[in-house]
Amino acid sequence: MRRVVTAGCVLVLAAALVTGCNTSKKAEEATTAAKAETAAITVDYGKGLNEDGTLADVTPSDYVTVCKYKGIKINKKDVAATDKEVQDQIDSLMASYQTTKEVKDRAVENGDTVNIDYTGKVDGKEFDGGSAKGYDLTIGSKTFIDNFEEQLEGHNPGETVEIKVTFPKDYQSKDLAGKDAVFTTTINYISEKEDAKLTDDFVKQNLTAAYGFTSVKDMKKQIRENLEKNKENDYVWNYLMENSKFKDIPEEIVNARVDVVMDGLKSEMATQGYSIEDYMSSYGYKDEKDLRASYYDTCEKTIKTYLIADVIAGEQNIKVTEDDVKEYFNGQDYSAYVETYSQSYINRAVLNSLVVKYVMDNAVVK
């Protein structure tokens, strides 16, 4: 009786390593998951990179003339984090600590999530897939057919309601298409979310080990600093990309990055029990060539950032040291990341961050 929904798959490729890293328990859990994902399909994140993170077998200056990067002018307002942005980050973090309570003393309203038992019948007979117990349904989500959800509004937990609906004429089950049905539905309770109270004690108990926050004040300070670092990162790369001049980049250089994305996608699909063919069919790609082409421009942009960073690093003798990597990971153990992503890929991310830092250190901030 539920509507058929094709769920999309979002591929996140080493996202935490692109702009910076705050290691945490969640990050370590993500790394553990990444290991499991790559068990079936090996993903070589370091493909096309030297051990120090620079592009392998490439002379960067052959493909880019980097703009003047010393003394670029930056308006502080362009890289400052607003109070709303800080609060949004806090709200997002605190959402993972929400709890739920069972409410039974009020009527169901639009937007509520209700826990229900239901049994569906057509012509007085039960049918396959028409019954469930303990199902959580959000009223107004249009998850169920016809006006099923609306008929629960105004009723209280503990009530049993006879809900009458008509299956669509184009319903996937031909035996039910266009038929009238009655669902005997018992409302067990309404689920309400309760926000955790943000206090210094809460931070110490839940966020210090995971994120390094020591108090509410420190939490806000670190979140603001991280937001501003990300804005500075984006500002610098946008400036360098817009003002530098590029020559045509050989396809084999870009395709090395496309290979990584494709392998990552195949690995992700495999862990979910799907094939790359399933993915292409769901999203309308003709074949792997067509899918690869969809990633090409993004991967080319990535290579352009590598070229710019390699030129600046070469001119300013910027090299990644072990201390730099430790600082990037806030002094925490990063061996799991090396095992998953390779030292060369991690060095690539750290090199990019060092280049941004150099440009920011030599910028004129107003």
Question: Each residue's pLDDT tens digit in the chain (366 positions)?
Answer: 543 322 232 333 333 343 344 434 444 444 444 444 444 578 999 999 999 999 999 999 999 999 999 999 999 999 999 999 999 999 999 999 999 899 999 999 999 999 999 999 999 999 988 899 999 999 999 889 889 999 999 999 999 999 999 999 888 888 888 999 999 999 999 999 899 999 999 999 999 988 889 999 999 999 999 999 999 999 999 999 999 999 999 999 999 999 999 999 998 899 888 899 999 988 999 999 999 999 999 999 999 999 999 999 999 999 999 999 999 998 888 999 999 999 999 999 999 999 999 999 999 988
Would you call 289 helix, strand, or coil by DSSP? helix
**What's the number of domains the chain is made of?**
2
What domain range includes position 119? Answer: 100-194
Classify residue 123 by its DSSP letter. T
Say whether both 352 and 239 belong to one domain: yes
pTM, two decimals, is 0.67
Query: Closest Cα to residue 66, out of 240, 239, 234, 238?
Result: 240
Measured CA to CA in angstroms, residue 6 lies from 9, 37, 53, 135, 281 at distances of: 10, 22, 39, 20, 11
CATH of the domain at 154: 3.10.50.40
The beta-strand segments (E) located in 123-179 are 125-138, 160-166
Say whether both 351 and 241 belong to one domain: yes
Query: Closest Cα to residue 120, out of 130, 133, 110?
Result: 130
Query: Closest Cα to residue 20, out of 339, 348, 328, 336?
Result: 328
Measured CA to CA in angstroms, residue 316 lies from 69, 135, 309, 355 at distances of: 11, 61, 10, 9
Contact yes or no for 214/208 (Cβ under 8 A) = yes
Say whether both 91 and 227 belong to one domain: yes
In this structure, what is the dihedral angle of CA atoms 357, 359, 362, 364, given to the nearest 10 degrees? -110
Say whether both 57 and 118 belong to one domain: no
Residue 36, token pair as written in the block = 């499991």
Say whether both 87 and 134 belong to one domain: no
Say whether both 303 and 329 belong to one domain: yes
